[in-house]
Amino acid sequence: MDLRESVAYADSASDLPMLEAVGFPVAVNPETRLAGIARKRGWLVEDFRKSPGMRRNLLPLAPAGRAGR
């Protein structure tokens, strides 16, 4: 695997080593520190928390007690 051709997604500055190792780093819903670093380095920053129509309260995938059935 050629890391220069790989994509990594992260939301925390603790993931910087992984983001620095790939050719296409993406900060997704990043914490403040990572957002600043990503912008300075010209990395893609996606913040879906501010997207129109984004639901604040997500629905469960299955009713309680039914998961995995």
58 part of a folded domain: no
29 part of a folded domain: yes
64 part of a folded domain: no
What digits encode the pLDDT tens for the residues 11-69?
A: 999 999 999 999 999 999 999 999 999 999 999 999 998 767 656 555 556 555 655 55
Q: How confident is the model at residue 7 (pLDDT cuts 50, 70, 90)?
A: very high
At 68 the pLDDT is: 54
35 part of a folded domain: yes
57 part of a folded domain: no
Count of domains forming the chain: 1
Q: In this structure, what is the dihedral angle of CA atoms 53, 56, 60, 63, given to the nearest 10 degrees?
A: -100
Written as one string, the DSSP assignment of 14-60 is GGHHHHHHSSEEEEES--HHHHHHHHHHT-EEE-GGGSTT--SSPPP
At 51 the pLDDT is: 67
Which residue range(s) make up the domain with 25?
A: 3-50
